[in-house]
Amino acid sequence: MLSLNSGPVEGWSFVVLSMLLWLDTVYLGRVFCTTVCPYAMLQGAMFDKHTMALSYDTRRDELCMGCDACVRACPAGIDLRDGLQAACFSCALCRDACAGKLAQRQEPGLLLHFFGEPGGRARLLRPASISLLVAAMLSALLFVTLVVKRGDVDVLVLPNREFAPRATRDGGALASYILSLTNRTEQEVTLYMSAPAV
């Protein structure tokens, strides 16, 4: 839950990230999609010759009218006639634009979903998909293990910066600490604490 009295790190992080997101949306727009979009990079890492993708059907190249309706419809300004590109996130707006133009000739659109290359076949069990599945399963197992094995009480001890350590008259040291206890259960927990002298 967001607290209005959060610390300086959290507050400034929120402000900086909000400003970056606003600047990206207002000023960069499509540039973000074509350069640093993490979704496109993840898709590119998983892509192989059997991945379903929106592609230009080179087998019917002679039907292309060169109207560039597909490029104008694309939010990222991509021309799929030049081949697959990492910035494409398969929104299929170009497919609809092309299909609308070629419908006047009673022809299907030239931008279609293919498995890899036009005419390619589907193959579910591929090294990339299996490795992603194994990584996801291991991450889920680690998460469940950490949740199950976590303690009932979280204890955090921090030095109190408002109280500087000082020497006492009898040669000892006096220091102040902040103790934070978090009950992670639904029931009340009774704790007994002691601080032995050192």
In 3D space, the residue among 67, 47, 66, 45 whose CA is nearest the CA of residue 55 turns out to be 47
The parts of the chain modelled with pLDDT lower than 70 are 1-7, 29-30, 33-34, 40, 116-122, 197-198
In degrees and rounded to multiples of 5, residue 183 shows phi and psi of -85, 115
β-pair type (173-174, 177-183): unpaired
100 in Cβ contact with 69 (< 8 Å): yes
Torsion 103-104-106-109 (CA) sign: negative
